[in-house]
């Protein structure tokens, strides 16, 4: 599945191509790019020592946003109902390429992630474990906090639901 989206920022167009694949459909190069981006941001940039390979990737869908030159600009993992939270589908490992931040990829990625979840898991509400500093970002997509702040990998998080 490929979809072109054009975002008008500073009077220029930024072409983006979305690709959604189940884990079994990912090429080795796609999986490598995903894991590289996740490690660069979550482990190195955020200084989190954690096991990213949590045995959920194999049962999930992977949404990749590439620039026209093939750079993986943003990524999210779409988890089926019950995989992370009973009765909920989920969006996780939401990440943007550091060099491309503030260009709108994160916002477009979340919009696309929500649409794809609605298509993959019809009628299922969404639940996420959001980093607390991104609470307002997720609220702008209709998510609402449903629990107290908790610490995960030395970072404040909050559970949020939508739908």
DSSP string, 105-135: HHHHHHHHHHHHHHHHSTT--EEEEEEGGGH
Tell me the whole-structure pTM to 2 decimals: 0.88
Please give the C-alpha separations between residue 135 and each of 142, 144, 146, 157, in angstroms, as whole numbers. 11, 9, 12, 9
pLDDT tens for the chain, residues 1 to 163 = 444 444 443 334 466 899 999 999 999 999 999 999 999 998 888 878 788 899 999 999 999 999 988 999 999 999 999 999 999 999 999 999 998 888 888 899 999 999 999 999 999 999 999 999 999 999 999 999 999 999 988 889 999 999 8
Rounded to whole angstroms, the Cα distance separating 67 from 17 reads: 6
Q: In the 8-state DSSP scheme, what is residue 42?
A: I
Superfamily of domain 2-123, CATH level 4: Gcn5-related N-acetyltransferase (GNAT) (3.40.630.30)
Report domain extents, the chain: 2-123
Q: Which residues, at least 6 apart from 123, have a Cβ–Cβ distance to it below 8 Å? A: none
């Amino acid at each position: 599945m490929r979809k072109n989206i054009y975002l008008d920022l500073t009077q220029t167009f930024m072409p983006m191509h979305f690709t959604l694949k189940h884990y079994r459909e990912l090429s080795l190069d796609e999986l490598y790019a995903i894991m590289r981006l996740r490690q660069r941001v979550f482990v190195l940039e955020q200084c989190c020592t954690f096991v990213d390979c949590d045995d959920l990737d194999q049962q999930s869908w992977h949404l990749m946003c590439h620039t026209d030159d093939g750079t993986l600009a943003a990524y999210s993992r779409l988890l089926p109902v019950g995989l992370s939270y009973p009765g909920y589908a989920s969006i996780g490992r939401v990440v943007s390429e550091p060099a491309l931040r503030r260009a709108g990829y994160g916002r477009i990625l979340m919009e696309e992630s929500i649409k794809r979840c609605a298509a993959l898991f019809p009628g299922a509400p969404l639940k996420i474990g959001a980093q607390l500093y991104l609470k307002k970002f997720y609220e702008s997509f209709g998510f609402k906090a449903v629990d107290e702040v908790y610490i995960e990998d030395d970072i404040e998080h909050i559970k949020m639901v939508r739908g």
